[in-house]
Amino acid sequence: MVAVVGVVSLLTLAGCTDAPEEPLPIPTSSKTAEPTPTPEYTPGIDPEADVAAAIKTYEAYIAAENGLVVSDRSTWDPYLDLLVGEMRDGTLARLTAMAEDGTSLSGETRILSTSLFGQDAQRVVLDVCLDIGDTDIVGKDGLSLVSAGRDPISAMRVRVVPGDDTSSWNVDYIIFRDDGPTC
């Protein structure tokens, strides 16, 4: 619509031109124009589809996180591409610092459960239970930076928001939670 208004305004400002000497030809094809395809999914239209898309996005985030190799920056993009705003900026800063320090990650996080905490057309908030018992953060000296008493199960709250391309979602924030479903 903005493009149409812009073109009409441009033509109006450019002034009128003389009428063509011959009438414009009439198309001979009886084929009707194909409708403009619509995306398979648009956030904010179907609440159930939004929740499914948010869960799928978070699953992709965990898969990308499990694929991170701090010393290999080519593994960062699939992970960072799922994040937006301060979450993305902070994660990039932490990964950069870890790479400079020689810190590495090991193990895999597993999603145990996801449930809807709340939603509207602009966000879906999930309560998530994660098994992080096999994960570790290892310093350059080879020693674990994770507390020995860490609980292997984490209760998280995750907010997922529509992405810029209007057909995807991105993780906006993740926090530890102490309410909601028990993990």
User: Along the chain (183 residues), what's the average pLDDT of each consecutive run of 10 residues?
Assistant: 30 35 41 48 79 94 97 96 95 97 96 96 94 96 94 97 80 95 94
What pLDDT score was predicted for residue 52? 93
pLDDT at residue 35, as a whole number: 52
Residues 123-150: b if buried by 16+ CB within 10 A, e if exposed: bbbbbbbbebeebeebeeeeeeeeeeee
The whole-angstrom separation of Cα 115 and Cα 181 is 8
Q: Residue 46: what pLDDT? A: 84
The per-residue pLDDT for 82 is 95
Q: What is the pLDDT of residues 1-27, one digit of tens each?
A: 333 323 223 223 333 334 334 433 333
Specify the 3-state DSSP secondary structure of 162.
strand
State the pLDDT at residue 121.
83
How many whole angstroms separate alpha carbon 106 and alpha carbon 139?
11
Q: Is the pTM of this model over 0.95?
A: no
Contact 171, 57 (CB under 8 A): yes
